[in-house]
Amino acid sequence: MRRWLAVFLTLVVLLLSAGGCGESSYRPGFDDNTRTESQPVTTKINVQGASGLQVHFIDVGQGDAILVIAPGGSAMLVDGGESECGQTVVDYLHSRGIKKLTVLVATHPHADHIGGLTAVLNNFPVDRIYMPEIANDSEQISDLRNVIRQQGLQVQVAQAGGKLPLPGVDALFLAPDHQDHENPNDASAVIRLKYKNTSFLLTGDASEHSEDEMLDNGMNLDIDVLKVGHHGSHSSTSQEFVEAASPQYAVIMCGIGNAYGHPHWEALETLSEAGTKIYRTDLAGNIVMKSDGESIKVISGGDSHTAVAKGNNQLIDTGTTYYIGNRNSYKFHRPDCSALPSDKNRVIFKSREEAIKNKYDPCQRCLP
């Protein structure tokens, strides 16, 4: 009997610790017993008659979900994370007093961006839906299209130059500039939000190819906040693009210890060299920014300047650092190493010293 009880309790612990949405039990760089700066905002915001512009980067693990609340209370949701994160997004919107969405944008048909939107549509009325016109027959996009048809909604094409009906905010699509991209990331809907003298750029998974098109098309990229493309992948965030945007803040949306090694050191280095302050959902949870039209205040989220590579793979510690160990090989790696183990074989270490103390050896590929 005791044996079966022990097995049952073990299964309960595993189930509670699983899943890519909601609060993680441990975020590197913050004390295990307190979230302090990274503690999500818990006060409900009354959106009716709200002043200023609010942009909520919702922690959905390895995915995107961004809530924009305009002056006066109109709301726009950009992406909704994986299908399993749908309820997380729905609960978050309810906690912010959202009753309906004026605009919903699916930036491109990848599961980590559109999966949760089906749950959103089943819980909130939506005035307008925008998506780029790209062929895709995934299960998630089929589910989303079915719900859209059932509700009698019409999808508007997201394309460069198109304006979004968000009262009080100048909201404009900067990309895609055409609809024949083969790679869905290249066709990501990119949105520039301008509120008085402040501005945000929401890039979905826009690749360097998309960034080059925006630069070539002479788009106004000068912004204050950059939602970094493709979760901080090295395939986005080129030096030329960052120089043109000159963001004061950058937000990277990714899952802790994700299998892709996001964010990659190249993106972190480019942003750090530009003097951009970086916030990350894998380290800080939900990140909320509020603009009064003249300045932007971060009212949730911790600093997340992580280690970036310089020259010969030597890491320069600029703040929060963590390493990923392999339970099988007893090697530990940088988070952007190409030889990361599968999720089930990973163990997170707060420092290099902690990994070595636990008898893990440094990876010879990434040289942590």
- Is the CB of residue 113 less than 8 Å from the CB of residue 80? yes
Which residues on neighbouring strands pair with residue 194, listed in sequence order? Answer: 170, 199
> How many other CB atoms are found less than 10 A from the CB of residue 217?
12
pLDDT digits (tens, 9 = 90+) for 160-184: 999 999 999 999 999 998 877 778 8
pLDDT of residue 19: 43
Residues 301 and 91: their CA atoms lie apart, in Å, by 19
pLDDT of residue 366: 79
DSSP codes of every residue in 192-203: EEEETTEEEEE-
pLDDT of residue 46: 41
pLDDT of residue 99: 96
Q: What are phi and psi of 105, to 5 degrees?
A: -125, 125
Domains detected in the chain: 46-310 (3.60.15.10), 322-368 (3.40.10.10)
- Mark the ranges of the chain whose per-residue pLDDT is less than 50: 1-19, 23-49, 302-320
Residues 232 and 205: their CA atoms lie apart, in Å, by 9
Closest of 221, 277, 275 to residue 252, by C-alpha = 277
- Is the CB of residue 253 less than 8 Å from the CB of residue 227? yes
pTM of the model: 0.74
**Greatest CA span in the chain, whole angstroms?**
71
pLDDT of residue 300: 62
pLDDT of residue 50: 57
pLDDT digits (tens, 9 = 90+) for 210-244: 999 999 999 999 999 999 999 999 999 999 999 99
pLDDT of residue 20: 64
Closest of 225, 199, 229 to residue 214, by C-alpha = 229
- Is the CB of residue 28 less than 8 Å from the CB of residue 321? yes
pLDDT of residue 335: 77
- Tokens representing 161 are 């130059």
H or E element that contains 93:
helix 86-95
